[in-house]
A = this chain, B = another copy of it.
Amino acid sequence: MSRRPQTEIAILGALSIGPMTGYELRAAITDVLGDFWHESFGQIYPTLATLEESGSVRRATPGRTSGSRFEITSAGRAVLRERLAEPHTAPPPRNALLLRLFFGSELPPGRAAELLRAEIDRATTALGRFAAIRAEVVAEPESEARTFRSLTLSYGEHHARAHLTWAREALAALPQDV
């Protein structure tokens, strides 16, 4: 199998939009993909080095070591397309919130309600953020890229709404003394 790290996909994907330094890469990933993807510097820099070695990316301003932007090569674009097409296997589920709620009867009094209220806050905040992004996306000119951006945003919207509804219902269903 030898599943290569998905960090490569995220980096190549981000560089397919435009050249960036490692630092900018991390900021871009956090900004744009932050709701469903994450990279740390500890992953970005080593991965960038191996991608450079394999010829998938190159320095836009060679010579300089600090502050030089990386750009994707045509070989890199091919790798990106390949890697994107690979089947993805969902990692085994590990939902810390549900694990706690499942054994909720062992939780101190009030803690379950507290957990649910935190989820309501989180989902509400997320929905506000999504609404702002939605306004931006709607204003963009029609393009294939926009379709896919809209589609991932829609995922966030649907799931956040479901999460909010669930948490409210669950909170209401909780016995008073728990």
Contact = CB atoms under 8 A, between A and B. Distances in A.
Contact of A80 (B13, B103, B163, B173): B103
Contacts of A112: 148
A101 B36 CA distance: 11
A156 B74 CA distance: 43
A159 B154 contact: no
A1 interface: no
The copy count of this chain in the complex is: 2
Interface string A117-147: 0000000000000000000000000001101
Interface stretch (A20-28, A49-57, A60-68, A83-91): A83-91
Contact of A102 (B13, B81, B102, B174): B13
A13 B103 CA distance: 7
A106 to B, nearest CB: 5
**Interface size range of chain A in the complex:** 35 or more
A28 to B, nearest CB: 12
Given A101-B148, A103-B13, A166-B159, A90 B96 contact: yes
11 contacts: A6-B94, A13-B103, A13-B106, A33-B99, A37-B99, A77-B106, A90-B96, A104-B151, A112-B148, A151-B174, A158-B163
Given A10-B99, A37-B93, A104-B151, 7 more contacts: A6-B96, A13-B103, A36-B94, A89-B96, A103-B148, A105-B144, A147-B175
